[in-house]
């Protein structure tokens, strides 16, 4: 008997209200648990093919293996017996394709984009490497050196070093304690982890842990037929990661990053806040631009009028994520013009948060922020690649295809009282960790 296949359609509109996502999505789950989501859009002759794997640095629970999800992303480009790395690269060029990948805390994402005539070949290559990845120990060790080079490049940026210090100080148990690229001691040991890499593939690269997104101009029936044929033999179940639960932070924490060369003075401040899928996540999405965006009183005071700050960077402000899989941080980074300005900058932010907690909310600014966020999303989804990237990041934390519409429904319901309540509950000193960059003077 042929195994049953579950299918669902997410329509553009319901009787109650239109959805935020502007394209129709149709989802089908194969018997193996592999989910296939097709998203037709007006992109004549072009497609994007994304594979979301719900594994990231969050899964790195074993001591000594931080950064491994990112490292393994590199190994996925090492080829198979059927499509060795050199042939895969040649086909990518010959077919006019663009291929890449990225890894974050909760997910690893692989994608191809290009002319629709190449889509059958892409499905064949992707199905093969997700089922039959093969690389020699020597290739593994060579790639480990490339990852070390990437680590050194990333940490030449003081912002990366500050993020590492913030996470390490703010978390004591959860795997969000380390950055996606990992800690240096573990990166240096990666050449010794060949056998572990094979286990990692078997544990997490399973069909029930993956979602395929096909976006753009394609024949859905033909695509599904090819996917069923190419992925049909893939079996296995992903291993749940035993991620430690982070205990509540009960006192304020701080750290200092000593920087050996010239850099702008800056401070990074984060508070423990709830995970994706919650009403609090929607509040955080709004809170970033409300407090620190170019229309905010803080921006006007510190950037335009007093000219103490060169720039603000805020989690949830320019980030597609609806949050993280587990509770993480809401944070801002302020880059000041002079070191002596940092105390005044932090004091001004504290005053703005205190006013928010006391119920002083600009209702018009809040309404403008929510409208701008929705408009900004709609205008950004212009290409199949952009849509695939966006969907992968939105779906990764919860696995929910309806996460975007739920997030924007929740954002629409964020009231002045909700902002005040959030500030009272979460933006408090006992939940806060502060990292300051200190430039060492040359002797």
* Measured distance CA(264)–CA(275) in Å, rounded: 32
> With contact defined as beta carbons under 8 Å apart, do 316 and 397 qualify?
no
Positive or negative, the Cα torsion across 38, 29, 114, 181? Answer: positive
Domain extents in the chain: 6-15+23-231, 253-439
SS3 for 262?
coil
Coarse DSSP helix, strand, coil percentages of the chain, rounded to the nearest 5 percent: 45, 20, 35
Burial class (CB in 10 A: 0-12, 13-18, 19+), 339: middle
- Apex 388 CA angle, 385 and 389, nearest 5: 85
Domain 6-15+23-231, CATH: 3.30.830.10
Domains 6-15+23-231 and 253-439 share a fold: yes
pLDDT digits (tens, 9 = 90+) for 45-80: 999 999 999 999 999 999 999 999 999 999 999 999
Q: How far is CA 12 from the centre of its chain?
A: 25
Fold for the domain defined by 253-439: Cytochrome Bc1 Complex; Chain A, domain 1 (3.30.830)
pTM of the model: 0.93
pLDDT score recorded for residue 136: 95
> With contact defined as beta carbons under 8 Å apart, do 435 and 162 qualify?
yes
Residue 9 has pLDDT above 60, yes or no: no
- Apex 209 CA angle, 204 and 215, nearest 5: 125
Could you tell me if residue 387 is left (phi over 0), alpha (psi between -120 and 50 degrees) or otherwise beta? alpha
Query: Nearest to residue 162, comparing CAs of 350, 365, 438?
Result: 438
pLDDT digits (tens, 9 = 90+) for 87-118: 999 999 999 999 999 999 999 999 999 999 99
Residue 318 has pLDDT above 80, yes or no: no
Task: Provide the 10 A C-beta neighbour count for residue 263.
Answer: 16
Residue 5 has pLDDT above 50, yes or no: no
Please write down the long-range contacts of 80-86, taking CB distance under 8 Å and 24 or more positions apart: 80/128, 80/129, 80/132, 80/133, 80/134, 81/132, 81/134, 82/128, 82/132, 83/125, 83/128, 83/129
Q: What is the dihedral of CA 149, 150, 154, 160, to 10 degrees?
A: -110
Q: What are the tokens at 32?
A: 């193996």
Query: pLDDT confidence of 13, banded at 50, 70, 90?
Result: very low
């Amino acid at each position: 008997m042929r195994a049953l296949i579950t299918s669902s359609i997410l329509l553009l509109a319901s009787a109650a209200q239109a959805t935020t996502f502007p394209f129709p999505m149709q989802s089908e789950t194969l018997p193996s648990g592999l989910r296939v989501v097709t998203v037709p859009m007006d992109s004549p002759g072009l497609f994007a093919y994304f594979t979301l794997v719900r594994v990231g640095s969050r899964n790195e629970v074993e001591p000594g293996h931080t950064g491994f999800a990112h490292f393994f992303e590199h190994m996925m480009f090492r080829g198979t017996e059927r499509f060795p790395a050199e042939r895969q690269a040649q086909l990518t060029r010959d077919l006019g394709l663009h291929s890449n990948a990225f890894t974050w805390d909760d997910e690893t994402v692989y994608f191809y984009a290009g002319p629709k005539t190449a889509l059958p070949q892409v499905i064949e290559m992707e199905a093969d490497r997700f089922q039959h990845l093969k690389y020699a120990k020597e290739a593994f060790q060579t790639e480990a050196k490339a990852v070390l080079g990437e680590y050194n490049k990333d940490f030449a940026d003081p912002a990366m070093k500050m993020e590492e210090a913030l996470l390490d100080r703010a978390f004591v148990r959860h795997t969000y304690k380390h950055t996606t690229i990992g800690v240096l001691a573990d990166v240096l040991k990666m050449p010794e982890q060949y056998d572990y890499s094979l286990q990692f593939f078997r544990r997490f690269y399973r069909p029930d842990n993956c979602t395929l997104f096909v976006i753009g101009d394609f024949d859905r029936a033909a695509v599904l037929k090819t996917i069923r044929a190419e992925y049909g033999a893939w079996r296995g179940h992903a291993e749940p990661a035993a991620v430690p639960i982070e205990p509540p932070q009960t006192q304020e924490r701080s750290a200092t990053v000593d920087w050996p060369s010239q850099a702008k003075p800056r401070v990074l401040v984060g508070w423990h806040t709830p995970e994706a899928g919650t009403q609090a996540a929607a509040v955080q999405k709004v809170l970033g631009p409300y407090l620190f965006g170019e229309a905010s009183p803080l921006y006007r005071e510190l950037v335009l009028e007093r000219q103490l700050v060169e720039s603000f960077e805020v989690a949830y402000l320019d980030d597609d994520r609806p949050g993280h899989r587990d509770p993480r941080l809401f944070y801002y980074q302020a880059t000041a013009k002079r070191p002596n300005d940092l105390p005044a900058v932090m004091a001004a932010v504290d005053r703005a948060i205190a006013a928010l907690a006391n119920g002083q909310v600009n209702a018009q600014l809040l309404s403008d922020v929510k409208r701008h966020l929705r408009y900004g999303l709609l205008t950004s989804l212009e290409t199949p690649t952009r849509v695939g990237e966006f969907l992968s990041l939105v779906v990764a934390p919860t696995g929910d295809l309806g996460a975007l519409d739920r997030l924007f429904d929740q954002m629409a319901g964020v009231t002045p009282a909700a902002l005040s309540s959030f500030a009272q509950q979460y933006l408090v000193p006992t939940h806060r960790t502060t990292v300051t960059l200190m430039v060492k003077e040359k002797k």
